Amino acid sequence: MNKPDILAALAALSQENRLDAYRLLVQAGPEGMPAGEIAADLGLSPNALTFHLDRLREAGLVSARRDGRSMIYAAQFDTMNGLIGYLTENCCGGAVDCAPAVVCKPVRRRTKVSA
């Protein structure tokens, strides 16, 4: 990744709603989530969510695809792995205290259990 890409990704993630949306998409894995489900989970209006997801998409952190009437968003793990690798290589500079890069990978999303 180059410096402008790094700055765009960090800027996109520096807003609370976008960071929360990205976290949900990472947990959802490569299949992604419908926009309506993300909006409901975060308590955002559809317009507000679209604004935030567009910023993440422009930074290369998420992708979008249409499935019927729904937009499905998914985290782009390669971009996050590139960001982590860049920060580790260029900011840690081989320092012993700096942890090695951890690969970003999907984690199965926990399902809500109804009582």
Tell whether the model's pLDDT for residue 111 goes beyond 70: no
What pLDDT is recorded for position 86? 87
Select the more confidently predicted residue: 28 or 100.
28
Do the domain assignments include residue 113? no
Domain total for the chain?
1
What residues pair up with 65 in beta bridges, in sequence order?
72
Do the domain assignments include residue 25? yes
Tell whether the model's pLDDT for residue 31 goes beyond 90: yes
Nearest in space to 55 (alpha carbons), one of 2, 29, 82, 18: 18
Supply 29's token pair. 């894995």
Do the domain assignments include residue 81? yes
pLDDT in tens, 37-96: 999 999 999 999 999 999 999 999 999 999 999 999 999 999 999 998 888 887 777 666
Say which CATH number the domain at 52 has.
1.10.10.10
Do the domain assignments include residue 62? yes
What residues pair up with 63 in beta bridges, in sequence order?
74
> What domain range includes position 65?
3-92
